[in-house]
């Protein structure tokens, strides 16, 4: 056991601490775990709990749209499938929350297949616009069968996960961390064991070349669709149990555009970017409730200004500022180092050349 | 019943056609997916309300002022914001959404959230083949047809139109041939917003105004554009009338139709796309073919 612990510590030191981006992510996570020690204010805990839920949602959007490159504007459909299935299972069958959350998330996989088979026949902008249609069609269905789905008012009275806000906070945070880790590992292009990631990246970069290289692109796009739908629905089930209502508001266009805003703000195709985006932007929107008339206006202006300065997203920009990839061995270094930590080759060649002629 | 279907189909079809045509210009030429088109439409409706109801100006003068202002908004937005981040497509889409929100909130702060409406511009109606058609609708149809013809003339009879069509086909070759690509983008963005302005000006006495009125036409407009084929001008006009009539028929004939109108209209779009992935009159772009 001591050997394992030592190896874990050494890996942590070598893989996390020396890479500034990862170190910041790690300490941010530690901070999130210790926030209840600093304040137990139920309002702050609630805002952070919802941030974690939306972090799963935004990261699942990034898995499909950022990494696989299938830009969708109708991700709320999966979120709503999760929320409604959790609500129906809980209210009609009386299942407790520990059963409805995984089952609701799993229901999204057949739903993703049903949406994905027709939608993935078209590509590019057509695909984006078709996915935009899906939540609107579902809204029509929800309203038309209102005695089953609750219509405009939605289904209310869903059981709580737990009466303690602290327990909810930690549960949602743990689910968020584990799903983010899973998504990051599954889509990691450098992974030696899981080949999914490199296929997803290949499909985004050039679908024709990917297909010519023998990748069944339609199959992998469907897999990305199912995975993304699964995690979005997972967020949906948690959301339904937290606000105890599943309504058509999750099917509004605005609800599908929000993860896009968070993800693009944080930086797409990174999984970590959207999560950071949510933890910064969602509390900001909550904070702006003190001036309700100007809330959306200020939010939109902030988004415009940030996009103008960082069109590739916060994470990508910050990482450019603090990290430098070694030109020889491709190991990531802190920007302050002058030579690579693995192979000692000089990192800042251009500056070195300009200084020494 | 059937007369209402015909009138609503034609009226809404004309509005959607204007919006979709504007979107097609922006997308086909400048490659901007403009999700603020609905907001441009909404803002123009409010401009028209100011000119007609508050300042009591002449109808045609108000329409002209409204549409010019709308075009100016389109050009300003492109110059100030979109141009700087052109190469990041995701960021462009996000910025247009943010612009739509800004316009919506500004209108909300100025006018408040309540619904506004005005008197018809020209009261009265004529009876034609047993259908009574209000002069209001005739005026709208007249302006829309004039705009369609003017757009056609601009595109196919002038040198500017030739330049626009060239850039839409291949911007690099057009650039090599000495066409000022940046100027063409500006014209396309201005024209797109101008057409949204026409739609906004014409619906003032027919719809009630509210700051969120732009979202529903935006969705239908996107469906129209996909149905007709992205970048196809003929497709967006014909698609607009098809979807408007489907909507009218569903609302008047199907039980619970007003809930299902969007669902059925969009289901038709998806069904068409499954059989013809490039839309009814689509030009399939090189990068979208596989």
Write out residues 3-42 of B within 8 Å (CB-CB) of A.
27, 33
CA distance B41 to chain A (A): 18
**pLDDT of B289:** 38
| A153 SS3 class | coil
Question: What is the rounded CA–CA span in Å between residue B196 and residue B275?
Answer: 30
The first and second tokens of residue A189, run together, are 């292009």
Chain B interface includes A122 (CB < 8 A) = yes
Q: What are phi and psi of A346, to 5 degrees?
A: -65, 140
Instruction: Give the separation between CA A280 and CA A166, rounded to whole angstroms.
Output: 21
Residues A39-51 have pLDDT tens digits of: 888 888 899 999 9
Helix ranges (H only) for chain A are 2-12, 20-38, 42-61, 76-92, 97-119, 125-144, 146-149, 165-186, 196-205, 207-212, 217-243, 253-266, 272-287, 295-309, 314-322, 349-356
CB contact under 8 A, A136 and B88: no
Q: HSE-up of A182 (CA within 13 Å, CB side)?
A: 12
What DSSP string describes B49-110?
HIIIIIS---HHHHHHHHHHHHHHHHHHHHHHTGGGGTT-HHHHHHHHHHHHHHHHHHHHHH
pLDDT value of residue A237: 93
**More confident of the two residues A351 and B220:** B220
pLDDT in the model for residue B287: 44
- Neighbour count for residue A336 (Cβ, 10 Å): 9
CA separation for the pair B217, B233 (Å, rounded)? 18
CA A213, chain centre distance (Å) = 29
Q: Which residue has the higher pLDDT, B198 or A147?
A: B198
User: Within an 8 Å CB–CB cutoff, is residue B135 touching chain A?
Assistant: no
Q: Is B132 left (phi over 0), alpha (psi -120 to 50) or beta?
A: beta
Contact A296 B105 (CB under 8 A): yes
Closest chain A CA to residue B259 = A140
* CB-defined contacts A:B, below 8 A: 129
**What confidence score (pLDDT) does residue A295 get?**
78
Please give the residue of chain A at the shortest CA–CA distance from B229: A126
Low-confidence winner among A128-142, A196-210, B115-129, B252-266 (lowest mean pLDDT): B115-129
* A115, A268, A311: best to mutate for the B interface, most B CBs within 10 A: A311
Report yes or no: A234 and A79 within 8 Å, Cβ to Cβ.
no
Where does residue A214 fall: left (phi above 0), alpha (psi -120 to 50 degrees), or beta otherwise?
left
What pLDDT, on a 0 to 100 scale, did the predictor assign at position A356? 63
Give residue B109's Cα distance to chain centre.
25
Search chain A and give the residue with CA nearest B89.
A311
- A165/A129 Cα distance (integer angstroms): 39
Q: DSSP label at A251?
A: G
Q: What is the pLDDT of residue A353?
A: 65
- Residue-wise burial string across B146-182, b where 16 or more C-beta atoms lie within 10 A, e elsewhere: ebbeebeeebeeeeebebbbbbbeebeebeeeebebe
Kindly state the tokens that stand for B270: 């998806």
pLDDT at position B196 is: 92
Q: What's the rounded Cα separation, in Å, for the pair B148 and B18? A: 8
Furthest-apart CA atoms within chain A: distance in Å: 79
Residues 85-114 of B with CB under 8 A from A: 85, 88, 90-91, 93-95, 97-99, 101-102, 104-106, 108-109
B-chain CB neighbours of A294 within 8 Å are 105, 109
Partners of B132 in beta bridges? B127
> How many whole angstroms separate alpha carbon A266 and alpha carbon A313?
5
Alpha-carbon distance of A119 to A126, in angstroms, equals: 9
- Higher-confidence residue of B67 and A117: namely B67
CA distance from start to end of chain B: 46
Q: B204 near B54, Cβ under 8 Å?
A: no
Q: Do A297 and B215 touch (CB under 8 A)?
A: no
Residue B151 Cα to chain centre, angstroms: 13
Chain position carrying tokens 């299972």:
A89
Q: How far apart are CA B223 and CA B240, in angstroms?
A: 9
Contact B197, B40 (CB under 8 A): yes
Q: Report yes or no: A317 at the B interface, CB cutoff 8 Å.
A: no
Query: What is the structure's pLDDT at B128?
Result: 65
Answer for the pair A153, A269: CB distance below 8 angstroms, yes or no.
Answer: no
Q: According to the model, what pLDDT value does residue A82 have?
A: 93
**A residues 226..255 contacting B (CB < 8 A):** 253
pLDDT in tens, A279-324: 988 888 888 877 777 777 888 888 888 888 887 888 888 887 887 7
Write the pLDDT tens digit of every residue in B206-260. 788 888 888 888 888 888 888 888 778 888 888 898 888 888 888 887 776 677 7
Q: How, if at all, do strands B125-128 and A155-156 pair?
A: unpaired
Separation CA A193–CA A182 (nearest Å): 13
Nearest 10 degrees: CA dihedral of B228, B9, B101, A261? -40
Touching check for A312 and chain B: CB below 8 Å?
A: yes
Task: Show which of residues 181-240 on chain B sit within 8 Å of chain A, judged by CB atoms.
Answer: 215, 219, 222-223, 225-226, 230
Answer whether B33 sits within 8 Å of A141, measured CB to CB: no
Task: Collect the ranges in chain B with pLDDT lower than 70.
Answer: 1, 119-133, 256-257, 282-290
Interior angle at CA A350, CA A348 and CA A354, nearest 5: 120
Cα–Cα distance for residue pair A106/A231, rounded to 1 Å: 9
User: Residue A59 pLDDT > 90, yes or no?
Assistant: yes
pLDDT value of position B286: 44
- The pLDDT, as a whole number, for residue A289 is 79
């Amino acid at each position: 056991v001591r050997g394992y612990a030592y190896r874990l510590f050494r890996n942590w030191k070598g893989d996390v601490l020396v890479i500034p981006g990862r170190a910041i992510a790690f300490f941010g996570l530690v901070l999130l775990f210790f926030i209840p020690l600093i304040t137990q204010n139920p309002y702050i805990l609630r805002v952070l709990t919802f941030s974690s839920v939306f972090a799963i949602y935004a990261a699942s959007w990034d898995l499909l749209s950022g990494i696989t490159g299938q830009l969708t504007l109708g991700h709320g459909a999966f979120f709503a499938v999760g929320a409604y299935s959790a609500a129906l299972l809980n209210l009609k069958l009386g299942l407790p929350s520990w059963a409805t959350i995984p089952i609701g998330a799993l229901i999204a996989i057949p739903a993703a297949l049903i949406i994905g088979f027709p939608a993935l026949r078209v590509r590019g902008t057509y695909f984006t616009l078709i996915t935009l249609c899906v939540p609107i069609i579902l809204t029509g269905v929800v309203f038309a069968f209102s005695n089953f789905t609750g219509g405009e008012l939605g289904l209310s009275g869903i059981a709580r996960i737990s009466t303690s806000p602290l327990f909810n906070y930690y549960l949602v945070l743990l689910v968020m961390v584990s799903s983010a880790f899973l998504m990051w590992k599954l889509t990691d292009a450098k992974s030696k064991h899981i080949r999914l990631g490199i296929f997803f990246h290949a499909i985004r970069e050039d679908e024709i070349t990917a297909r010519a290289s023998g990748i069944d692109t339609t199959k992998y796009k469907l897999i990305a669709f199912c995975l993304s739908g699964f995690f979005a629905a997972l967020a949906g089930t948690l959301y339904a149990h937290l606000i105890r209502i599943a309504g058509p508001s999750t099917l509004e266009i605005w609800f599908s555009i929000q993860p896009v805003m968070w993800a693009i703000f944080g930086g797409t195709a990174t999984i970590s970017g959207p999560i950071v985006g949510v933890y910064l932007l969602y509390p900001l929107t909550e904070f702006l409730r003190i001036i309700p008339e100007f809330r959306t206006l200020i939010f939109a202006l902030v988004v415009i200004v940030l996009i103008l300065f960082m069109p590739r997203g916060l994470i990508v920009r910050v990482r450019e500022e603090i990290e430098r990839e070694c030109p020889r061995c491709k190991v990531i270094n802190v920007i302050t180092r002058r030579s690579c930590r693995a192979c000692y080759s000089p990192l800042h060649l251009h500056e070195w050349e300009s200084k020494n002629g | 019943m059937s007369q209402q279907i015909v009138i609503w189909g034609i009226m809404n079809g004309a509005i959607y056609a204007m919006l979709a045509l504007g979107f097609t210009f922006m997308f086909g030429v400048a490659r901007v997916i403009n999700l603020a088109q609905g907001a441009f439409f909404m803002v123009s409706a409010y401009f028209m309300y100011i000119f007609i109801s508050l300042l009591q100006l002449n109808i045609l003068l108000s329409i002209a002022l409204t549409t010019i202002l709308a075009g100016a908004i389109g050009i300003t937005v492109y110059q100030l914001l979109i141009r700087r981040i052109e190469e990041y497509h995701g960021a462009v889409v996000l910025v247009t959404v943010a612009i739509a929100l800004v316009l919506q909130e500004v209108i909300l702060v100025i006018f408040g959230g309540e619904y506004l409406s005005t008197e018809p511009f020209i009261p009265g109606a004529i009876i034609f083949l047993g259908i009574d058609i209000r002069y209001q609708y005739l005026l709208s149809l007249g302006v829309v047809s004039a705009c369609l013809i003017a757009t056609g003339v601009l595109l196919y009879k002038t040198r500017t139109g030739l330049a626009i069509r060239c850039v839409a086909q291949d911007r690099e070759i057009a650039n090599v041939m000495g066409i000022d690509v940046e100027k063409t983008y500006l014209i396309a963005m201005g024209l797109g917003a101008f057409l949204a302005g026409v739609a906004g000006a014409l619906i003032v006495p027919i719809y009630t105004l509210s700051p969120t009125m732009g979202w529903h036409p935006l969705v239908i407009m996107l469906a129209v554009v996909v149905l007709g084929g992205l970048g196809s001008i003929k497709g967006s006009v014909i698609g607009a009338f098809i979807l408007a009539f489907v909507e009218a028929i569903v609302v008047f004939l199907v039980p619970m139709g007003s809930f299902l109108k969007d669902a059925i209209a969009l289901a038709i779009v998806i069904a068409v796309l499954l059989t013809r992935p490039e839309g009814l009159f689509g030009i399939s772009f090189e990068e979208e073919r596989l």
